[in-house]
Amino acid sequence: MKIVLQNLTKKFPSRNRKSHEDVVAVGDFTFEIPDGKLIGLLGPSGCGKSTTLNLICGLIKPTSGKIFFGDNDVTELPPENRGVGMVFQNYALYPHLTVKQNILFPLENLKGKDKLSKTEMESRALEAARLVQIDDLMERKPSELSGGQQQRVAIARALVKMPHVLLLDEPLSNLDARLRLQTREEIRKIQRKTKITTIFVTHDQEEAMSISDMIVVMKDGIVQQIGKPQEVYDNPVNLFVAKFLGTPPINAFDGKIENQTLYVGEDAVMDAKGVLDQEVAVGIRPEGFILQENGPLCCKLNRVEVMGRDISIVSTHGAFTGTAIRSIVDAEHSRHATGEYVHFALKPKKVLVFNKETQERIYINGNQHT
Protein backbone atom coordinates (compact mmCIF):
# COMPACT_ATOMS: atom_id res chain seq x y z
CA MET A 1 0.00 0.00 0.00
CA LYS A 2 1.17 3.49 -0.84
CA ILE A 3 1.65 5.84 2.11
CA VAL A 4 1.42 9.59 1.78
CA LEU A 5 2.57 12.02 4.44
CA GLN A 6 1.27 15.54 3.91
CA ASN A 7 2.91 18.41 5.83
CA LEU A 8 3.09 16.13 8.83
CA THR A 9 4.04 18.10 11.96
CA LYS A 10 4.29 17.06 15.59
CA LYS A 11 5.05 19.52 18.36
CA PHE A 12 5.54 18.63 22.01
CA PRO A 13 5.05 21.17 24.80
CA SER A 14 8.42 22.32 26.06
CA ARG A 15 9.65 20.78 29.30
CA ASN A 16 11.83 23.79 29.89
CA ARG A 17 9.84 26.05 32.20
CA LYS A 18 11.50 29.24 31.04
CA SER A 19 10.74 28.99 27.35
CA HIS A 20 7.21 28.11 26.45
CA GLU A 21 8.04 27.39 22.85
CA ASP A 22 6.98 23.96 21.70
CA VAL A 23 9.60 21.45 20.70
CA VAL A 24 9.17 20.46 17.08
CA ALA A 25 9.75 16.72 16.88
CA VAL A 26 8.68 16.45 13.26
CA GLY A 27 8.32 19.52 11.08
CA ASP A 28 6.36 19.71 7.84
CA PHE A 29 7.16 16.22 6.56
CA THR A 30 5.84 15.59 3.06
CA PHE A 31 6.64 12.33 1.32
CA GLU A 32 4.96 9.72 -0.83
CA ILE A 33 6.14 6.22 -0.06
CA PRO A 34 5.57 4.01 -3.09
CA ASP A 35 3.87 0.66 -2.64
CA GLY A 36 6.03 -2.31 -1.72
CA LYS A 37 9.24 -0.46 -1.03
CA LEU A 38 11.65 -0.62 1.89
CA ILE A 39 12.28 2.83 3.29
CA GLY A 40 14.98 3.70 5.80
CA LEU A 41 14.37 6.66 8.11
CA LEU A 42 17.81 7.80 9.08
CA GLY A 43 19.18 10.37 11.46
CA PRO A 44 21.02 10.95 14.72
CA SER A 45 19.14 10.23 17.95
CA GLY A 46 16.50 12.82 18.75
CA CYS A 47 15.99 13.78 15.12
CA GLY A 48 12.31 12.81 15.08
CA LYS A 49 12.54 9.56 13.17
CA SER A 50 10.88 7.46 15.88
CA THR A 51 8.20 10.12 16.30
CA THR A 52 7.51 9.86 12.56
CA LEU A 53 7.14 6.11 12.89
CA ASN A 54 4.74 6.49 15.83
CA LEU A 55 2.73 9.01 13.82
CA ILE A 56 2.40 6.55 10.96
CA CYS A 57 1.27 3.71 13.21
CA GLY A 58 -1.07 6.02 15.14
CA LEU A 59 0.36 5.75 18.65
CA ILE A 60 0.62 9.54 18.64
CA LYS A 61 -1.52 12.08 16.84
CA PRO A 62 0.05 14.76 14.63
CA THR A 63 -0.27 18.43 15.55
CA SER A 64 -1.06 19.17 11.93
CA GLY A 65 -0.78 17.53 8.54
CA LYS A 66 -2.29 14.35 7.17
CA ILE A 67 -1.45 10.72 6.67
CA PHE A 68 -2.96 8.63 3.86
CA PHE A 69 -2.82 4.88 3.50
CA GLY A 70 -3.64 4.38 -0.17
CA ASP A 71 -6.43 6.89 -0.75
CA ASN A 72 -7.76 6.77 2.81
CA ASP A 73 -7.08 9.54 5.28
CA VAL A 74 -6.04 7.71 8.45
CA THR A 75 -4.77 10.75 10.37
CA GLU A 76 -7.35 10.44 13.15
CA LEU A 77 -7.69 6.67 13.06
CA PRO A 78 -6.62 4.77 16.19
CA PRO A 79 -3.69 2.37 15.64
CA GLU A 80 -5.77 -0.79 15.94
CA ASN A 81 -7.77 0.14 12.85
CA ARG A 82 -4.83 1.02 10.63
CA GLY A 83 -3.66 -2.46 9.79
CA VAL A 84 -0.02 -1.84 10.58
CA GLY A 85 2.49 -4.29 11.97
CA MET A 86 5.16 -2.90 14.22
CA VAL A 87 8.44 -4.24 15.57
CA PHE A 88 9.58 -2.34 18.63
CA GLN A 89 13.15 -1.54 19.51
CA ASN A 90 13.17 -3.87 22.53
CA TYR A 91 10.80 -6.24 20.65
CA ALA A 92 8.03 -5.94 23.30
CA LEU A 93 7.55 -9.70 23.39
CA TYR A 94 5.20 -10.63 26.20
CA PRO A 95 7.51 -12.41 28.65
CA HIS A 96 4.80 -14.59 30.15
CA LEU A 97 3.65 -16.02 26.82
CA THR A 98 5.39 -18.60 24.64
CA VAL A 99 6.64 -17.79 21.15
CA LYS A 100 3.52 -19.34 19.67
CA GLN A 101 1.19 -17.45 22.02
CA ASN A 102 3.04 -14.26 21.19
CA ILE A 103 2.56 -14.79 17.46
CA LEU A 104 -1.08 -15.79 17.92
CA PHE A 105 -1.78 -12.72 20.06
CA PRO A 106 -2.66 -10.28 17.23
CA LEU A 107 -4.86 -12.88 15.52
CA GLU A 108 -6.86 -13.52 18.66
CA ASN A 109 -7.75 -9.83 18.72
CA LEU A 110 -9.67 -10.03 15.48
CA LYS A 111 -13.41 -9.63 15.82
CA GLY A 112 -16.54 -9.84 13.74
CA LYS A 113 -16.10 -10.80 10.10
CA ASP A 114 -12.31 -10.97 10.43
CA LYS A 115 -12.47 -13.59 13.17
CA LEU A 116 -10.44 -16.69 12.40
CA SER A 117 -10.98 -20.28 13.43
CA LYS A 118 -8.50 -21.94 15.74
CA THR A 119 -6.93 -24.00 12.96
CA GLU A 120 -6.66 -21.00 10.63
CA MET A 121 -4.89 -19.07 13.37
CA GLU A 122 -2.49 -21.93 14.01
CA SER A 123 -1.62 -22.31 10.36
CA ARG A 124 -1.14 -18.56 9.90
CA ALA A 125 1.14 -18.47 12.95
CA LEU A 126 3.16 -21.40 11.66
CA GLU A 127 3.46 -19.78 8.26
CA ALA A 128 4.77 -16.57 9.81
CA ALA A 129 7.16 -18.52 12.00
CA ARG A 130 8.47 -20.44 8.98
CA LEU A 131 9.04 -17.21 7.10
CA VAL A 132 11.48 -16.07 9.80
CA GLN A 133 12.71 -19.60 10.50
CA ILE A 134 11.68 -19.96 14.11
CA ASP A 135 9.08 -22.71 13.64
CA ASP A 136 11.13 -25.03 15.85
CA LEU A 137 11.05 -22.60 18.81
CA MET A 138 7.30 -22.25 19.16
CA GLU A 139 6.97 -23.57 22.71
CA ARG A 140 9.81 -21.53 24.22
CA LYS A 141 9.45 -18.41 26.35
CA PRO A 142 11.10 -15.20 25.07
CA SER A 143 13.62 -15.31 27.93
CA GLU A 144 14.92 -18.61 26.56
CA LEU A 145 15.76 -17.11 23.17
CA SER A 146 18.81 -15.28 21.90
CA GLY A 147 18.53 -11.64 20.82
CA GLY A 148 18.39 -12.59 17.16
CA GLN A 149 15.65 -15.15 17.76
CA GLN A 150 13.61 -12.66 19.78
CA GLN A 151 13.94 -10.25 16.89
CA ARG A 152 12.53 -12.86 14.50
CA VAL A 153 9.63 -13.60 16.80
CA ALA A 154 8.84 -9.91 16.90
CA ILE A 155 8.86 -9.77 13.10
CA ALA A 156 6.69 -12.87 12.87
CA ARG A 157 4.21 -11.32 15.29
CA ALA A 158 4.11 -8.17 13.20
CA LEU A 159 3.65 -10.09 9.94
CA VAL A 160 1.12 -12.66 11.08
CA LYS A 161 -1.86 -10.36 10.66
CA MET A 162 -0.76 -9.53 7.13
CA PRO A 163 -0.40 -5.80 7.65
CA HIS A 164 -0.55 -3.23 4.85
CA VAL A 165 2.47 -1.57 6.34
CA LEU A 166 5.34 -2.93 8.39
CA LEU A 167 7.13 -0.54 10.74
CA LEU A 168 10.44 -1.38 12.39
CA ASP A 169 11.87 0.82 15.13
CA GLU A 170 15.65 0.44 15.37
CA PRO A 171 15.25 -3.26 14.58
CA LEU A 172 18.95 -4.11 14.77
CA SER A 173 20.23 -1.91 17.57
CA ASN A 174 19.98 -4.61 20.25
CA LEU A 175 21.95 -7.19 18.28
CA ASP A 176 25.68 -7.75 18.17
CA ALA A 177 27.64 -6.74 15.08
CA ARG A 178 27.72 -10.13 13.36
CA LEU A 179 24.03 -10.80 13.89
CA ARG A 180 23.24 -7.32 12.67
CA LEU A 181 24.69 -7.99 9.23
CA GLN A 182 22.86 -11.28 8.99
CA THR A 183 19.53 -9.96 10.24
CA ARG A 184 19.46 -6.96 7.94
CA GLU A 185 19.82 -9.26 4.96
CA GLU A 186 17.02 -11.35 6.43
CA ILE A 187 14.75 -8.33 6.73
CA ARG A 188 15.51 -7.41 3.16
CA LYS A 189 14.65 -10.92 1.99
CA ILE A 190 11.41 -11.08 3.94
CA GLN A 191 10.38 -7.69 2.63
CA ARG A 192 11.08 -8.74 -0.96
CA LYS A 193 9.07 -11.91 -0.45
CA THR A 194 6.04 -10.34 1.21
CA LYS A 195 6.12 -7.07 -0.77
CA ILE A 196 4.77 -5.22 2.24
CA THR A 197 5.55 -1.52 2.30
CA THR A 198 8.13 -1.33 5.06
CA ILE A 199 9.53 1.63 6.95
CA PHE A 200 12.38 1.20 9.34
CA VAL A 201 14.13 3.62 11.61
CA THR A 202 17.83 3.57 12.29
CA HIS A 203 20.67 5.81 13.33
CA ASP A 204 23.18 3.60 11.53
CA GLN A 205 23.74 4.96 8.02
CA GLU A 206 25.44 1.80 6.81
CA GLU A 207 22.43 -0.25 7.80
CA ALA A 208 20.05 2.10 6.05
CA MET A 209 22.11 2.40 2.88
CA SER A 210 22.66 -1.34 2.54
CA ILE A 211 19.07 -2.52 2.44
CA SER A 212 16.77 0.42 1.70
CA ASP A 213 15.13 1.18 -1.60
CA MET A 214 15.03 4.79 -0.49
CA ILE A 215 16.38 6.63 2.51
CA VAL A 216 15.09 9.68 4.31
CA VAL A 217 17.71 11.65 6.23
CA MET A 218 16.34 13.70 9.12
CA LYS A 219 17.81 16.23 11.49
CA ASP A 220 16.07 18.12 14.31
CA GLY A 221 12.67 17.06 13.04
CA ILE A 222 13.28 18.34 9.52
CA VAL A 223 13.73 16.11 6.50
CA GLN A 224 17.08 16.91 4.91
CA GLN A 225 17.02 14.69 1.88
CA ILE A 226 15.06 11.84 0.37
CA GLY A 227 16.36 9.55 -2.33
CA LYS A 228 17.95 6.29 -3.36
CA PRO A 229 20.91 5.50 -1.10
CA GLN A 230 23.56 5.91 -3.80
CA GLU A 231 22.09 9.21 -5.03
CA VAL A 232 22.00 10.66 -1.56
CA TYR A 233 25.55 9.56 -0.94
CA ASP A 234 26.86 10.96 -4.20
CA ASN A 235 24.87 14.15 -4.11
CA PRO A 236 24.10 15.26 -0.58
CA VAL A 237 22.21 18.54 -0.46
CA ASN A 238 24.04 19.89 2.57
CA LEU A 239 27.05 19.34 4.78
CA PHE A 240 25.01 17.48 7.44
CA VAL A 241 23.88 14.79 5.02
CA ALA A 242 27.38 14.58 3.54
CA LYS A 243 28.89 14.07 6.98
CA PHE A 244 26.21 11.66 8.14
CA LEU A 245 26.57 9.20 5.26
CA GLY A 246 29.66 7.14 4.55
CA THR A 247 32.29 5.19 6.46
CA PRO A 248 34.89 6.38 6.98
CA PRO A 249 33.12 9.75 7.11
CA ILE A 250 33.72 12.53 4.65
CA ASN A 251 36.74 14.78 5.33
CA ALA A 252 35.65 18.36 5.86
CA PHE A 253 37.98 21.28 5.20
CA ASP A 254 37.76 25.04 5.39
CA GLY A 255 38.17 26.46 1.96
CA LYS A 256 37.35 29.32 -0.36
CA ILE A 257 36.53 30.07 -3.95
CA GLU A 258 38.63 32.77 -5.53
CA ASN A 259 38.91 33.62 -9.18
CA GLN A 260 36.85 30.60 -10.15
CA THR A 261 39.23 28.28 -8.35
CA LEU A 262 38.56 26.15 -5.30
CA TYR A 263 41.13 26.41 -2.54
CA VAL A 264 41.55 24.06 0.41
CA GLY A 265 43.50 26.22 2.84
CA GLU A 266 46.08 27.74 0.47
CA ASP A 267 46.13 24.80 -1.94
CA ALA A 268 44.32 25.40 -5.21
CA VAL A 269 42.74 22.04 -5.81
CA MET A 270 40.14 22.44 -8.52
CA ASP A 271 38.53 24.74 -11.01
CA ALA A 272 35.24 26.24 -9.93
CA LYS A 273 33.87 27.92 -12.99
CA GLY A 274 31.01 30.33 -12.68
CA VAL A 275 30.93 30.44 -8.88
CA LEU A 276 31.25 33.71 -7.02
CA ASP A 277 34.15 34.27 -4.67
CA GLN A 278 33.24 33.15 -1.17
CA GLU A 279 34.30 31.20 1.91
CA VAL A 280 33.17 27.57 1.66
CA ALA A 281 33.27 24.24 3.44
CA VAL A 282 34.82 21.49 1.34
CA GLY A 283 34.00 17.83 1.87
CA ILE A 284 36.16 15.20 0.26
CA ARG A 285 35.13 11.54 0.36
CA PRO A 286 37.90 9.17 1.50
CA GLU A 287 37.81 7.49 -1.89
CA GLY A 288 38.16 10.85 -3.66
CA PHE A 289 41.92 11.09 -3.11
CA ILE A 290 44.51 10.02 -5.67
CA LEU A 291 48.13 9.77 -4.59
CA GLN A 292 50.16 11.87 -7.03
CA GLU A 293 53.65 13.19 -6.55
CA ASN A 294 52.75 16.67 -7.75
CA GLY A 295 49.11 16.62 -6.63
CA PRO A 296 47.70 19.99 -5.52
CA LEU A 297 46.66 18.99 -1.98
CA CYS A 298 49.63 18.70 0.33
CA CYS A 299 49.09 16.91 3.66
CA LYS A 300 51.39 15.98 6.50
CA LEU A 301 51.62 12.21 6.65
CA ASN A 302 50.86 10.49 9.96
CA ARG A 303 50.72 6.83 9.07
CA VAL A 304 49.63 4.31 6.51
CA GLU A 305 47.25 1.49 7.39
CA VAL A 306 47.27 -1.52 5.10
CA MET A 307 43.81 -2.97 4.45
CA GLY A 308 44.69 -5.50 1.76
CA ARG A 309 43.44 -4.33 -1.59
CA ASP A 310 43.37 -0.72 -0.40
CA ILE A 311 45.44 1.30 1.94
CA SER A 312 44.21 3.96 4.29
CA ILE A 313 46.36 7.03 4.63
CA VAL A 314 46.03 9.08 7.79
CA SER A 315 47.29 12.63 7.49
CA THR A 316 46.69 16.19 8.62
CA HIS A 317 46.22 19.52 6.90
CA GLY A 318 46.05 23.06 8.21
CA ALA A 319 42.56 23.69 6.89
CA PHE A 320 41.11 20.37 8.09
CA THR A 321 38.31 20.72 10.64
CA GLY A 322 38.58 17.31 12.32
CA THR A 323 41.54 15.52 13.88
CA ALA A 324 42.87 13.31 11.06
CA ILE A 325 42.18 13.01 7.35
CA ARG A 326 41.40 9.51 6.21
CA SER A 327 41.87 8.70 2.57
CA ILE A 328 41.54 5.33 0.93
CA VAL A 329 43.65 4.66 -2.14
CA ASP A 330 44.64 1.72 -4.25
CA ALA A 331 47.47 -0.28 -2.65
CA GLU A 332 49.42 -0.04 -5.90
CA HIS A 333 50.06 3.61 -5.24
CA SER A 334 51.40 3.06 -1.75
CA ARG A 335 54.94 3.79 -2.86
CA HIS A 336 54.00 7.48 -2.96
CA ALA A 337 53.03 7.47 0.66
CA THR A 338 56.44 7.94 2.20
CA GLY A 339 58.31 10.86 3.64
CA GLU A 340 56.92 13.72 5.70
CA TYR A 341 54.29 14.95 3.25
CA VAL A 342 51.91 13.33 0.81
CA HIS A 343 50.40 14.97 -2.24
CA PHE A 344 46.93 14.19 -3.48
CA ALA A 345 45.04 14.86 -6.65
CA LEU A 346 41.24 14.78 -6.21
CA LYS A 347 38.40 13.11 -8.09
CA PRO A 348 36.07 16.02 -8.91
CA LYS A 349 32.89 13.99 -8.29
CA LYS A 350 34.03 13.20 -4.78
CA VAL A 351 34.68 16.82 -3.86
CA LEU A 352 31.58 18.46 -2.44
CA VAL A 353 31.42 22.18 -1.79
CA PHE A 354 29.07 23.82 0.70
CA ASN A 355 28.16 27.36 1.60
CA LYS A 356 30.07 28.35 4.74
CA GLU A 357 27.03 29.94 6.41
CA THR A 358 24.02 27.90 5.33
CA GLN A 359 25.97 24.67 4.79
CA GLU A 360 23.91 24.21 1.63
CA ARG A 361 25.51 22.55 -1.34
CA ILE A 362 27.19 24.68 -4.04
CA TYR A 363 27.25 22.89 -7.34
CA ILE A 364 30.39 23.44 -9.35
CA ASN A 365 31.73 22.22 -12.68
CA GLY A 366 28.49 20.72 -13.81
CA ASN A 367 28.49 18.35 -10.85
CA GLN A 368 24.74 18.68 -10.77
CA HIS A 369 22.10 17.42 -8.49
CA THR A 370 20.05 14.87 -10.35
Cβ closer to other proteins: 111 or 178?
A: 111
**Least distance from other proteins to the Cβ atom of residue 107, Å:** 9
Binding mask 96-135 for other proteins (x = CB under 8 A): xx-------xx-xxxx------------------------
Distance CA 369, CA 289 (A): 21
Looking at residues 148 to 177 of the shown chain, list those that interact with other proteins (rule: CB under 8 A): 157, 161
Q: What gap in Å lies between CA 68 and CA 25, rounded to an integer?
A: 20
As a whole number of angstroms, the distance between CA 252 and CA 303 comes to: 19
Smallest gap from Cβ 90 to other proteins, in A, equals: 6
Task: Give the Cβ contact number of residue 201 at 10 Å.
Answer: 26
Cα dist. 365→274, 352, 357 in Å?
8, 11, 21
Q: Which of 36, 44, 46, 79 binds other proteins (CB under 8 A)?
A: 79
Pick the binder of other proteins from 21, 34, 94, 185 (CB under 8 A). Answer: 94
Question: Which helix (H) or strand (E) element contains residue 267?
Answer: strand 267-271
Q: Is 73 in the site for other proteins (CB under 8 A)?
A: yes
Segment interacting with other proteins (CB under 8 A) among 9-17, 42-50, 84-92, 181-189: 84-92
Name which position in 21, 80, 332, 360 contacts other proteins (CB under 8 A).
Answer: 80
Amino acid at 7: N
49 belongs to the binding site for other proteins (CB under 8 A) = no
Contact, 243 vs 235, CB < 8 A? no
Distance, first Cα to last Cα, the chain: 27
Q: Which residues of 171-192 are buried (b: 16+ CB within 10 A; e: fewer)?
A: bbeebeeebbeebbebbbebbe
Closer Cβ to other proteins, 78 or 322, answer by number: 78
> What is the DSSP pairing of strand 310-316 with strand 297-306?
antiparallel
Nearer residue to other proteins within complex by CB, 79 or 296: 79
Give residue 307's identity as a one-letter amino acid code.
Answer: M
Q: Rule CB under 8 A: is residue 72 a binding residue for other proteins? A: yes
Output DSSP code: residue 336: G
Residue span binding other proteins (CB under 8 A) among the ranges 20-28, 53-61, 198-206, 281-289: 53-61
Binding of other proteins at residue 76 (CB under 8 A)? yes
Stretch that binds other proteins, among 30-38, 74-82, 210-218, 314-322 (CB under 8 A): 74-82
